[in-house]
Each structure stands twice: as C-alpha cells, then as structure tokens.
C-alpha cells in the first residue's frame, strides 16, 4: 500500500485517542482495560468510515478499516494501562498504599534488584544446561534445525524464488523462537514460583523480566554465531547498516517483555491462558512472515494487514538491515514503536492490577 493510503489512519489516530480519553476517563476505573479497547475499536472503525464517506478519492477497504480499529484499540489500551501503573507509583510515593505493595518506576525497580535478576537468569541457564557437554550452544539447535528443515522444503519441494531465502529464513526463525519461547515461559513465571511469591516479598516484576533476559541471552548467542557463519557460506557480507540491528532488536525485546508481563499476570489468575496461547502461537506463526517474505503477498490491503501481525514489523526491519543493507520503510518503524509502547504500557497496567491477587491465586 502506498504511504498516501496510510495518511488518513495516521491522522485519525490522535483524534480517536483523544476521544477515547475523554469518553473513558469518567466512566472506567484506572485499571479497567476492556472498556477503552472496545471503545477504541468502535471509534477506529467509525473514524475510518467517516474518512471514506467524506473523501471519496481515498479508498479504505475492510482490511484497512480493521487495521485502523486494531491500532486505535491498542493505543486506548496502552493509555489506560500506562495510567494504571503511573497512579500506582504516585500512590506509593505519597505513602497511601499499604506495604508490601510497592510500585516504583520500572527502571529503578529493576536496577535496585539487578542482583536478584542476575541470579534468576543464571539459575535458569544452569538448570537448563546442567550435565550437558555443549551447554548454551544447545540454544542453536532449535533454530538451526528449523532453518534446515524449512530451507530444504522451500528449496526442493516448493522452490522459493526469493534471493538469499535461507538467510532471511534464519533471521525470521531466530526472532520467532525468542518471542514464542519467551511467551510460553512467561505464563509459568509467577505460577512456578508460588512458594517464593507467598513467603518472600520482592517486586514480582522481576520474575517475568528474568524470563525475558534468559531467552535474550540464547537469542544473542544464536545471532552472533549463526548469522556470521551463514554470511560467509552465502558469500553475502554484511553492510554498515548491520550496526543498526540492535535498534529493532531492542524494540523486539521491549515488546516481548510487555507481553510477558501481561501473560505472567493473567495466567496466575486464569490457567486457561496457557492453552489459549498455544493455539494463538500456531495461528500467529503462519500469519507472520517467518517462512516467507511480505513481497510474495500481492501489494494492497492484504499485504498491509500482514504487516500488522504483532511480530511482522520487527522481522521485516531485521531482514532489511541484516540482509538487504537498506533502511526499513518508515511505516515499519512507526508500527514497531507503536507496538512496543502499547505492549509495555498494557503489560504494566495488567500486572499492577493483578499483582495483589497473586498470593491468593497460587
């Protein structure tokens, strides 16, 4: 879709967000996320339809209308989630919350308990690779096997015409493995630490954060080992833009962290989240350009809709910088920042809302 087709949506988002804030502020409590999400979806569709009726030259088919509603709902949920965390921090600083429920700014909390965070990550790494000869190098096995398997299928069974397909496949599988494994482990971050949560006070935020860092270590090891090896094997030397790969990588980590907070908190109250996540990840894998590239989808609303898959902009950006040696499109960067901001805000809001129930639920 040409950038001009996205302009009405980009201009509509601030207006819809302002309407959400005005409508919800007096109706919903600070921790209610369902109301702004539903209201944001409705307003997003209404604004898109209004733009279509007022400007006949701008054609907004249903995939684009749905994407506008999806983005608007995310913004509305992010606003409410961020407000929930902010009010909890202010209340604690003012001394109006009863200990042991303390909410400090996120960076300060993690920095204050960085020793505990390191110990949890080291414990998980030690337990996972205890007694193995290869140690952390086993983290290369899963993405390597997936890359070889899909590479053989799309080379000999269903040949792909995409240049450097195996390289692109590896980048997609590495990002997907980090995201999916972290999401699955996050559902057990609070549940599996029930005795610790019930008997010792510490910021529960540390538990899902340790899960993200644990998988990040393995992701970085795989990137540092497999990407250079594949570059040499394919004769495709990295461009200077490869130095910018940490930017989308950092956004991917922050996005996954926000999602991990939400999954850890909701699973502690509702165990069905684990089973629902397994089904969702299976669908999301094929809805995300992991084993294919976006250019195989005909240009138009469907391609734009595929780009809105939660992990798609991160994979597209990583492939552009690491393989193509080109800056990703502006819309990709915009969606990455939007998704990251919304995931962190909503994750913090859900976590602070449900944190006081952890001991009762476990």
What is the model's pLDDT at position 25? 44
Q: Per-domain residue ranges for the chain? A: 1-101, 104-361
Which pLDDT belongs to residue 179? Answer: 95
Contact 151, 169 (CB under 8 A): yes
Per-residue model confidence (pLDDT) at position 46: 67
Segment 248-289, tens digit of pLDDT: 999 999 999 999 998 998 888 888 888 889 888 988 888 888
Mean pLDDT of the 129-156 span? 73
What is the model's pLDDT at position 14? 45
Residue 250 near residue 178, CB atoms below 8 Å: no
Alpha-carbon gap, residue 182 to 253, rounded angstroms:
10
Give Cα 247 distance to the centre of its chain. 14
Predicted confidence (pLDDT) at residue 15 exceeds the cutoff of 50: no
Give the least confident one: 79-93, 145-159, 227-241: 79-93
CB 125 within 8 A of CB 136: yes
**Is-contact 61 301, C-beta < 8 A?**
yes
pLDDT band at 211 (very low <50, low <70, confident <90, very high): very high
Residue predicted with more confidence, 199 or 264: 264
Between the ranges 51-65, 68-82, 155-169, 256-270, where is the mean pLDDT highest? 256-270
- For residue 22, what pLDDT is reported? 47
d(CA 319, CA 315): 6
pLDDT at residue 312 in the model:
92
How many Å apart are CA 158 and CA 150, to the nearest integer? Answer: 10
Closest CA to 256 of 316, 214, 308, 305: 214
How sure is the predictor about 187, in pLDDT bands with cuts at 50, 70 and 90? very high
In this prediction the pTM is 0.75
The pLDDT score that the predictor gives to residue 337 is 85
pLDDT for position 99: 40
Three-state SS at 238 = coil
pLDDT at 35 over 80: no
In the chain, the percentage of residues whose pLDDT exceeds 70 is: 69
Query: What is the pLDDT, as a whole number, of residue 124?
Result: 79
CA pair distance 141, 20, nearest whole angstrom: 47
Number of residues assigned to the chain = 362
Is the per-residue pLDDT at 89 higher than 70? Answer: no
pLDDT of residue 185: 92
Residue 328 is given by DSSP the state: P
Is residue 205 a contact partner of residue 109, using CB atoms and an 8 Å limit?
A: yes
Least confident of 4-18, 56-70, 121-135, 166-180: 4-18
């Amino acid at each position: 879709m040409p950038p001009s087709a996205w302009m009405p949506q980009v201009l509509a988002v601030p207006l819809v967000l302002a309407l959400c804030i005005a409508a919800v502020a007096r109706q919903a409590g600070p921790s209610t996320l369902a109301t702004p999400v539903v209201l944001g979806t409705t307003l997003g569709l209404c604004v898109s339809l209004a733009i279509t009726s007022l400007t006949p030259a701008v054609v907004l088919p249903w995939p684009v209308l749905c994407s506008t509603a999806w983005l608007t709902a995310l913004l509305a949920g992010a606003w409410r989630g961020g407000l929930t965390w902010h009010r909890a921090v202010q209340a604690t600083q003012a001394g109006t919350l009863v200990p042991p429920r303390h909410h400090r700014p996120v960076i300060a909390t993690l920095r204050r308990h960085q020793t505990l965070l390191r110990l949890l990550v080291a414990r998980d790494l030690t337990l996972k690779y205890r007694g193995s000869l290869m140690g952390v190098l086993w983290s290369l096995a899963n993405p390597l096997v997936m890359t070889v398997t899909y590479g053989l299928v799309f080379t000999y069974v269903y040949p792909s015409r995409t240049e450097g397909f195996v390289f692109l496949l590896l980048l997609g599988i590495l990002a997907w493995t980090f995201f999916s494994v972290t999401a699955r482990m996050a559902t057990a971050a609070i549940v599996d630490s029930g005795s610790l949560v019930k008997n010792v006070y510490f910021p529960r935020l540390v538990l899902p954060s340790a899960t993200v860092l644990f998988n990040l270590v393995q992701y970085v090891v795989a990137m540092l080992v497999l990407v250079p090896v594949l570059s040499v094997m394919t004769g495709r030397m990295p461009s200077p833009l490869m130095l910018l790969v940490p930017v989308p990588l950092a956004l991917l980590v922050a996005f996954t962290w926000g999602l991990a907070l939400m999954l850890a908190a909701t699973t502690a109250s509702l165990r069905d989240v684990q089973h629902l996540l397994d089904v969702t990840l299976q669908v999301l894998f094929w809805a995300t350009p992991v084993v294919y590239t976006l250019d195989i989808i005909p240009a138009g609303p469907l391609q734009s809709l595929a780009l809105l898959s939660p992990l798609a902009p991160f994979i597209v950006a990583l492939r552009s910088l690491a393989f193509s040696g080109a800056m990703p499109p502006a819309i990709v960067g915009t969606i990455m920042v939007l998704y990251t901001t919304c995931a962190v805000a909503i994750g913090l809001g859900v976590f602070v809302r449900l944190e006081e129930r952890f001991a009762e639920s476990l």
